[in-house]
């Protein structure tokens, strides 16, 4: 494949080693191509000034402003005892707000000569607070001189690109470096097929790069953005389409349930009818299982929409067809619960090989890391002989020693907690690739599903089963209105008096070692940043105080698995009134009699996590209540987040809000550091249409030409996107 020499050129050769080193270390830019794809964050017009009032504290900013006045002060200090110390204070203005710049020592001479009142310049530095006023200390600056040949109009109207910069490299230095390499943009190979580009009226890639870095008008910027968004969406969707195409070529054993086998026997004993949604999704899954290439399906459903029932029926269908099914859960508590509920739902059908078991029965085994040796050995024996048709477990299932007789289906619960490697390791245990069903209870907006899980077909369960109750949610502002918190505990007592149970959730456990380094904090620091409330402290306060006389127990991740299991059993049996827990109860815990939940320090949890937690109540016929306790002030973003959670039960709506607040991170699953996201101009939520259209176009291109032989530019772009790490990520799917 022809490499593009001009764009592959290392920056060291073009810009010199010093600048290239800073660009590589601080911005992750190594070649001319990388630099050309480092797009401006925004644009300033020379004639317009920045809003100084809106500058964020502690961030590195670049502003365009005018000098209002400059004063030189002398002062005495240890270094200059005779009053010879010099400080230059420059005030700059944008016409409405003002900002102070300070320069010290020998650094005052140059700015004192250059920053005269009326001068316009770009200033870059870190915003700090001094005497309650915003200031930039020792900012770098670049004077904006209108060249003699430039007329006032063109000078005032010129758009100045402001680049994502660092303290080591100001925006205008990046701008100058880009001007140096910009001629190479002419050689950029266009990844978009010409027919697609012309059909959508998009500019060519060289033109888009010129327009984004050196725009003459705002229309230039819009043209460039429209084009570059398509590049990102399309190249990413081609990567995913190729993966779907490759998966479709793999062989798998078709698994069709026997007409009067285990699944039929199970359906006959169900005390209720499946919802239309469950039937529709089950049909999609059974159709996939019957084909001779592996199913790759994402099953997303609202909290409590009955995903486990759908997954269990798929597992039974595979057992019916002579295979085995494995369900992978992220925690031991969850694995135990899934095991318990599956055995309960199946009754004698789960008693294969035992007296009293049904003729169609199979064995359902549990496999977790903390099981005793004998139980573990027996479980592994049941798997390798095929005695056990269904196994439910944690990471322990993935270990080398675990072998299956004929693994036909892998169900992964809660995708976001399982790495791709684990899915891959479990997949490797089948004689041929097993079918894969991934379940998530965190609803994912459609575009994100297409972008992040683009290799999986998606099924959505959005209907709640009959008998599920609505959940009322309220924010309890403990700091502004302490009596609201007292009322919250009264409500918990009322629920218990009516024969129900409650959860109290806290962000941490409370038996952590005290770190002496953390102990030395000033009193006001403590008030601002007190540690999150802990399970052990709150449980103690509640049993002695507002919930005195009720049976209160604790549950957290560092307890011994047998103790956790015992606590959950007592709670499920109704012996415990109030369970004070960490987020170990976030997924899969099912106690229909629990109707109330109080979440302490609710602002310390994410939106989708709060939605997950809330889904633990209202699982029976009585209405659920969720109280979000916070000490955050009314106007804070944290309170707005909590108000959003309280105002809707629609998980898809909430996941949208969550995403808008967190930004996308790197959707291809590289380290979520945010420092270098693979999406530069594409926003997953706003650009919904582009992503959907790009997916269709990509699928068509890959079906026609899986190796992309006719599109060298697209192949080059794919190679750039799929560097080693991502390549492996995509391989493992």
Q: What are 480-513's pLDDT values in tens digits?
A: 888 899 999 999 999 999 999 999 999 888 766 5
* pLDDT tens, residue by residue, 668-688: 443 232 223 456 777 776 788
Beta-sheet pairing, 42-45 with 159-162: antiparallel
Beta-sheet pairing, 578-581 with 552-555: parallel
Adjacency order of strands within the sheet including 435-440: 363-367, 388-393, 324-328, 407-413, 435-440, 296-301, 457-461
Is residue 315 predicted with pLDDT exceeding 90?
A: yes
Torsion of CA 274, 275, 277, 283, to 10 degrees: 20
**Beta-bridge partners for 242:** none
SS3 at position 409: strand
Instruction: Tell me how crowded residue 611 is: count the other CB atoms within 10 A of its CB.
Output: 27
pLDDT band for 588, please (50, 70, 90 cuts): low
Q: What is the pLDDT of residue 80?
A: 63
* pLDDT tens, residue by residue, 688-710: 888 889 999 999 999 999 988 88
Is residue 115 predicted with pLDDT exceeding 80?
A: yes
Is residue 189 predicted with pLDDT exceeding 70?
A: yes
Q: What is the mean pLDDT of residues 343-364?
A: 80
Residue 404 CB-half CA count within 13 A: 30
Q: What is the pLDDT of residue 526?
A: 39
pLDDT band for 587, please (50, 70, 90 cuts): low
* pLDDT tens, residue by residue, 130-164: 877 888 888 888 887 755 444 444 444 578 888 88
The residue to which tokens 């991502």 are assigned: 726
Instruction: Tell me how crowded residue 633 is: count the other CB atoms within 10 A of its CB.
Output: 11
Structure tokens at 313: 């029926």
Residue 418 in contact with residue 356, Cβ under 8 Å? no
Is residue 1 predicted with pLDDT exceeding 70?
A: no
Cα–Cα distance for residue pair 313/300, rounded to 1 Å: 16
pLDDT-above-90 percentage for the chain: 30
**Beta-bridge partners for 545:** none
How far, in Å, are 95, 344, 348, 351, 361 from residue 356 at the CA level?
86, 15, 7, 7, 10
**Beta-bridge partners for 10:** 31
H/E segment holding residue 297 = strand 296-301
Q: What is the mean pLDDT of residues 577-597?
A: 83
Cα–Cα distance for residue pair 209/530, rounded to 1 Å: 49
Q: What is the pLDDT of residue 523?
A: 37
Q: What is the pLDDT of residue 495?
A: 93
What is the chain's mean pLDDT, rounded?
82
Structure tokens at 33: 């191509």
Identify the burial level of 594 via C-beta atoms within 10 angstroms of its C-beta, where 0-12 means exposed, 13-18 middle and 19 or more buried: buried
Q: What is the mean pLDDT of residues 18-23?
A: 90
Is residue 87 predicted with pLDDT exceeding 90?
A: no
Q: What is the pLDDT of residue 46?
A: 62
Higher pLDDT, 22 or 333: 22
Cα–Cα distance for residue pair 730/240, rounded to 1 Å: 8
Structure tokens at 667: 């959707």
Helices (H), 624-672: 637-647, 651-662
Q: What is the pLDDT of residue 356?
A: 58
- Distance from CA of residue 610 to its chain's centroid? 15
Buried-exposed string 459-489: b where 16+ CB fall within 10 A, e elsewhere: bbbebbbeebbebebebbbbeeeeeebeebb
Cα–Cα distance for residue pair 289/282, rounded to 1 Å: 10
DSSP3 helix / strand / coil % (the chain, rounded to 5): 45, 20, 35
The residue to which tokens 């930004």 are assigned: 663
* pLDDT tens, residue by residue, 249-307: 888 899 998 888 899 999 998 888 888 989 999 999 999 999 999 998 989 887 677 88
Q: What is the mean pLDDT of residues 455-474?
A: 79
């Amino acid at each position: 494949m022809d490499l593009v020499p001009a764009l592959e050129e290392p920056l060291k050769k073009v810009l010199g080693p010093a600048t290239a080193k800073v660009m590589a270390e601080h911005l992750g830019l190594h070649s001319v191509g990388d630099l050309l794809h480092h797009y401006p964050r925004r644009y300033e017009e020379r004639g317009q000034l920045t809003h100084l009032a809106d500058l964020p504290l502690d961030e590195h900013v670049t502003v365009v402003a005018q000098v209002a006045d400059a004063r030189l002060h002398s002062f005495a200090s240890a270094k200059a005892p005779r009053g010879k110390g010099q400080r230059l204070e420059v005030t700059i203005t944008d016409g409405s707000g003002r900002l102070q710049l300070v320069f010290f020592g020998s650094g005052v001479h140059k700015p004192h000569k250059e920053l005269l009142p009326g001068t316009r310049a770009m200033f870059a530095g870190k915003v700090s607070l001094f005497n309650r006023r915003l200031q930039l200390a020792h900012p770098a600056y670049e004077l904006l001189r209108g060249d003699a040949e430039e007329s006032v109009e063109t000078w005032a109207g010129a758009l100045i690109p402001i680049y994502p910069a660092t303290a080591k490299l100001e925006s205008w230095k990046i701008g100058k470096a880009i001007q140096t390499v910009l001629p190479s943009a002419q050689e950029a190979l266009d990844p978009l097929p010409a027919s697609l580009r012309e059909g959508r009226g998009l500019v060519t890639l060289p033109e888009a790069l010129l327009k984004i870095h050196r725009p003459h008008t705002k229309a230039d910027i819009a043209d460039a953005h429209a084009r570059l968004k398509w590049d990102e969406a399309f190249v990413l969707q081609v990567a995913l389409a190729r993966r779907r195409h490759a998966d479709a070529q793999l062989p798998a054993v078709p698994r069709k349930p026997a007409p009067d086998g285990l699944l039929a026997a199970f359906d006959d004993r169900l005390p209720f009818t499946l919802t239309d949604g469950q039937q529709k999704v089950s049909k999609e899954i059974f159709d996939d299982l019957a084909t001779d290439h592996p199913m790759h399906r994402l099953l997303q459903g609202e909290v409590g929409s009955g995903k486990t029932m759908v997954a269990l029926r798929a597992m039974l269908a595979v057992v019916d067809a002579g295979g085995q099914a494995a369900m992978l859960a992220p925690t031991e508590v969850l694995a135990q619960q899934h095991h318990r509920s599956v055995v309960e739902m199946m009754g004698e059908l789960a008693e294969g090989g035992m007296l009293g078991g049904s003729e169609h029965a199979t064995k359902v085994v549990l496999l977790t890391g903390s099981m005793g040796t004998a139980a573990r050995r027996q479980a592994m024996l049941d798997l390798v002989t095929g005695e056990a048709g269904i196994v439910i477990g944690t990471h322990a299932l993935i270990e080398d020693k675990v072998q299956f007789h004929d693994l036909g289906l892998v169900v992964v619960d809660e995708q976001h907690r399982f790495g791709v490697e684990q899915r891959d390791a479990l997949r490797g245990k089948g004689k041929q690739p097993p079918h894969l069903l991934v379940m998530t209870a965190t609803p994912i907006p459609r575009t994100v599903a297409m972008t992040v899980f683009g290799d999986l077909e998606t099924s959505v369960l959005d209907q709640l089963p009959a008998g599920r109750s609505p959940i009322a949610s309220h924010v309890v502002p403990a700091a502004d209105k302490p009596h609201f918190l007292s009322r919250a505990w009264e409500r918990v007592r009322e629920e218990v008096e009516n024969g129900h149970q409650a959860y109290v959730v806290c962000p941490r456990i409370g038996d952590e070692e005290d770190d002496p380094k953390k102990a030395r904090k000033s009193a006001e620091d403590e008030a601002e940043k007190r540690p999150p409330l802990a399970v052990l402290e709150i449980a103690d306060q509640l049993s002695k105080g507002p919930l005195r006389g009720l049976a209160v127990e604790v549950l957290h991740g560092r307890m011994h698995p047998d103790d956790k299991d015992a606590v959950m059993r007592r709670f499920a049996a109704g012996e415990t009134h109030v369970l004070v827990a960490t987020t170990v109860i976030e997924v899969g815990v099912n106690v229909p009699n629990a109707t109330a939940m109080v979440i302490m320090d609710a602002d310390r949890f994410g939106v989708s996590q709060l939605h997950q937690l809330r889904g633990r109540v209202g699982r029976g016929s009585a209405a659920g209540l969720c109280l979000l306790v916070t000490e955050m002030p009314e106007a804070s973003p944290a309170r707005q987040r909590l108000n959003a959670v309280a105002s809707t039960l629609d998980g898809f709506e909430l996941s949208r809000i969550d995403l808008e607040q967190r930004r996308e991170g790197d959707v291809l699953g590289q380290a979520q550091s945010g420092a270098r996201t693979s999406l530069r101009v594409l926003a997953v939520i706003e650009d919904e249409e582009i992503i959907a259209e790009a997916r269709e176009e990509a699928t068509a291109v890959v079906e026609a030409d899986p190796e992309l032989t006719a599109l060298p530019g697209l192949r080059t772009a794919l190679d750039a996107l799929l560097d080693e790490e991502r390549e492996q990520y995509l391989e493992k799917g």
